[in-house]
């Protein structure tokens, strides 16, 4: 399944409904710029290894490009293009004045030492220095990249341009220009939206069972937020396996187990389950927080959850979307559900450029004030057009993008 084909099909579906100007559709059907580079890294054993690096700058109608860099062995150009397109949509959904971009390196970062990882991060910035910058393109962390990698990149860029330029990337450590609330932002944004959906359906959190696929930053923080709010988290998955407990997990203990054992798979008292069993669980809320294309036409029919919160990017294929909509499953789409991350990234960039730093309370207040109106606009569009929330989110975003494109052209 090609993630970029999926993205273009989503564009086409929403564009048809609102009879979007053909020129706007044409502009949004291809990225503005695609950059590729071979990244040479001298390994600890003295050998030279070349890694393939990408940066896709999709659309800048609403502002500078914004989007993460992922270090993953399965990174390819189509995936990066799709993610860059979704970033353009996502920024428009939460109405922040930025465009869409994405970067990637084909690498298994777990096989690199700390010094090799640092060399790779600095080489990436050197290779793409002409096209990134605080006013042009602002990368951020993504799959298997983190605040430390962003700090190396910001430091390298600052050295290259001969002045402190912390605003070149976001998702940095607090000590190096990062924003309070950034680490939890993706999950927190998704949590706020889920709370609104639950309220709208007159459901009680304490009676709801949840399964979360992915126990990295977003998945583990979402698990903790839900656990603290009284939801019963009965199933969890990380890259090494899936576990289930009908009574619900103590998430504090699972987080500690993951920290010490590097996987949740061996958590005491948990039943190991297969991927097929995981997606067929009798639950109320499913949170995919891993990689793309996890919910497909092959398993969508098995899903019993009433609500899906897409913390991952592109976890549901278009065919699966149709099945879920038919089955009256409410899918809160990635471009809304995980937009808390880019929203607080934008706040970090604002703080860097103004040299004025906010409290955690201010960040949280501003995040809520972006997420809730976005949910309301999308719910309204879904109601008006009698469509699923993903298509509604695209309609809201495309309307905003079209206005910006037309003003500039």
* Beta bridge mates, 48: 42
Cβ atoms within 10 Å, residue 399: 16
> 322-355 burial by CB neighbour count: b if 16+ within 10 A, else e?
ebbbeeebbbbbbbbbbbbbbbbbbbbbbbbeee
Q: Map tokens 């993504």 to a residue.
A: 142
Do 60 and 408 touch, CB atoms closer than 8 A? no
Do 170 and 150 touch, CB atoms closer than 8 A? yes
Q: Which residues contact 316 (CB under 8 A, 6 or more apart)?
A: 288, 294, 295, 300, 308, 310, 324, 331
Residue 334 corresponds to which tokens in the numbers above?
């990635």
Nearest-angstrom CA–CA distance, 248 and 132? 45
**What is the sign of the dihedral through the CA atoms of 247, 250, 253 and 259?**
positive
Residue 363 corresponds to which tokens in the numbers above?
């960040």
Long-range contacts of 49-53 (CB under 8 A, 24+ apart): 51/105, 51/106, 51/107, 51/120, 52/105, 52/106, 53/103, 53/104, 53/105, 53/106, 53/123, 53/124, 53/127, 53/128
Could you list the active site residues? 102
Nearest-angstrom CA–CA distance, 132 and 140? 11
Pair type for strands 285-288 and 271-273: unpaired
- Closest of 266, 271, 277, 278 to residue 210, by C-alpha: 278
Cα 389 to the chain's mean position, in Å?
A: 17
4 phi-psi bin (left φ>0, alpha ψ -120 to 50, beta other): alpha
């Amino acid at each position: 399944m090609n993630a970029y084909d999926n993205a273009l099909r989503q564009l086409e579906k929403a564009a048809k409904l609102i009879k979007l100007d053909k020129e706007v559709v044409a502009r949004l059907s291809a990225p503005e710029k695609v950059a590729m580079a071979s990244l040479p890294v001298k390994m600890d054993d003295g050998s030279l290894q070349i890694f393939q690096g990408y940066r896709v700058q999709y659309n800048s109608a609403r502002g500078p490009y914004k989007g993460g860099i992922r270090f993953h062995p399965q990174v390819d150009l189509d995936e990066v293009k799709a993610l860059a397109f979704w970033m353009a949509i996502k920024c428009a959904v939460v109405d922040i004045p930025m465009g869409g971009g994405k970067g990637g390196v084909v690498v298994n970062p777990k096989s690199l030492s700390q010094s090799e990882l640092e060399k790779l991060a600095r080489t990436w910035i050197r290779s793409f220095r002409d096209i990134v910058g605080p006013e042009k393109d602002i990368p951020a962390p993504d799959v298997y990249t983190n605040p430390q990698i962003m700090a190396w990149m910001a430091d390298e860029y600052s050295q290259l341009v001969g002045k402190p330029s912390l605003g070149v990337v976001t998702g940095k450590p607090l000590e190096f220009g990062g924003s309070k609330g950034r680490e939890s932002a993706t999950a927190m944004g998704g949590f706020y939206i889920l709370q609104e959906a639950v309220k709208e359906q007159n459901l009680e959190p304490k009676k709801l069972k949840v399964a979360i696929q992915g126990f990295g930053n977003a998945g583990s923080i979402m698990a903790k937020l839900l656990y603290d709010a009284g939801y019963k988290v009965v199933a969890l998955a990380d890259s090494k396996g899936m576990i289930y407990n009908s009574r619900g997990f103590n998430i504090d203990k699972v987080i500690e187990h993951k920290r010490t054992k590097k996987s949740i798979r061996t958590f005491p008292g948990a039943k190991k389950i297969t991927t097929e069993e995981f997606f067929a669980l009798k639950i109320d809320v499913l949170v995919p927080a891993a990689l793309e294309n996890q919910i497909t036409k092959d398993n969508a029919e098995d899903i019993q959850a009433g609500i899906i919160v897409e913390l991952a990017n592109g976890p549901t294929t278009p065919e699966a979307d149709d099945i879920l909509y038919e089955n009256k499953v409410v899918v809160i789409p990635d471009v809304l559900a995980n937009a808390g991350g880019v929203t607080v990234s934008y706040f970090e960039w604002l703080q860097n450029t103004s040299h004025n730093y906010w409290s955690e309370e201010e960040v949280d207040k501003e995040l809520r004030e972006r997420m809730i109106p976005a949910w309301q606009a999308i719910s309204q569009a879904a109601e008006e057009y009698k469509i699923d929330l993903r298509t509604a989110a695209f309609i809201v975003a495309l309307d905003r993008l079209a206005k910006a494109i037309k003003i500039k052209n």
